[in-house]
Amino acid sequence: MIHPSAIIEPGAQLGADCEIMAGAIITRHAVLGDRVVVHPYAVVGGDPQFLKFDRRTPTFVQIGEGTVIREHATVNRSIYEAKATVIGARCFLMANSHAGHDCVLGDDVVLANNVMLAGHVDVGSYTFLGGGAGVHQFVRIGESVMLSGLSRISRDLAPFTIVAERDEVSGLNLVGLKRRGFSRETLRELKEAFRSVYLGPGNIRVLAAEALASGAFTSPEAGRFLAFFAEGKRGFARSPQKAFGGTAANREEDAA
């Protein structure tokens, strides 16, 4: 359904049963899956906020099926030719939230009101980002992360964690994990993997690699948690114990 005064530019692609409400703008750079709902005054496929961008460059935004984009939310297209900013299936982008150019969101991601994602941010599936949170460019956020409202994030957030304030990990997102139906054994392994990385002295990357190589963790979820620390360029959000404990050398974990 296309409501009166909605703007859909020639070249935009809409799947079956989409609803585009009054005042919403779907540019020619947007590709929407089935059953996508776009509320008033949202803009999907707008130009990236990148000073050197040539507007003639053919780039895109892809929105997964069943995603809802609320009032005044914005999703900017990629800065790279033939590339796309990607929003997964069944995501919920609340009012005034923003996904910058070249962001990639997995499935079932929620951006609460006024969430700000800079360019090149990756967000794993089943993650919830609280209202007003701001995320620096090139940050990776793992699956099933719970991020507190008004948080300021400049480092990578490991999967399955709860994070608040300025890059501060407070524990595992146990409520979210139980809702996903993970077994007790998986939860036990995730708790042990978390302790191995966050609660002991030493370099986070090294501790995660040693735990992964030990063979002590058999669940895919624990494996994904530990493997997360092998990549990334921005360093990692840490627990207060990790941030303030140990020697100065141990605290320079991001240099490895």
14 and 115 together in one domain: yes
Residue-wise pLDDT for 191-225, tens only, equals: 999 999 999 889 999 999 999 999 999 999 999 99
pTM attached to this predicted model: 0.93
Q: 123 pairs with which residues across the strands?
A: 105, 141
Instruction: For residues 236 and 62, give the distance between their C-alpha atoms in angstroms, rounded to a whole number.
Output: 28
Residue-wise pLDDT for 18-59, tens only, equals: 999 999 999 999 999 999 999 999 999 999 999 999 999 999
Give phi and psi for 249, each to the nearest 5: -65, -40
Band of pLDDT at residue 66, cut at 50, 70 and 90: very high
Sequence-separated (6 or more) residues with CB below 8 Å from residue 207: 196, 197, 200
Question: Which residues are identified as catalytic?
Answer: 101-102, 119
Which residue's entry shows tokens 């299936």? 89
Compute the chain's Rg from CA coordinates. Answer: 19
Domain count of the fold of the chain: 2
Is residue 77 within 8 A of residue 85, CB to CB? The reply is: yes
12 and 125 together in one domain: yes
The reported pLDDT for the residue numbered 240 is 79
129 and 213 together in one domain: no
Residue-wise pLDDT for 169-192, tens only, equals: 999 999 999 999 999 999 999 999
187 and 118 together in one domain: no
190 and 125 together in one domain: no
21 and 87 together in one domain: yes
CATH number of the domain to which 67 belongs: 2.160.10.10
208 and 126 together in one domain: no
Is residue 59 within 8 A of residue 80, CB to CB? The reply is: yes
- Decide if 27 is inside a domain: yes
pLDDT at 247 over 50: no
Domain that holds residue 244: 181-255
105 and 39 together in one domain: yes
Which residue's entry shows tokens 């994030």? 153
- When pLDDT is averaged across residues 109-115 and rounded to a whole number, the result is 98
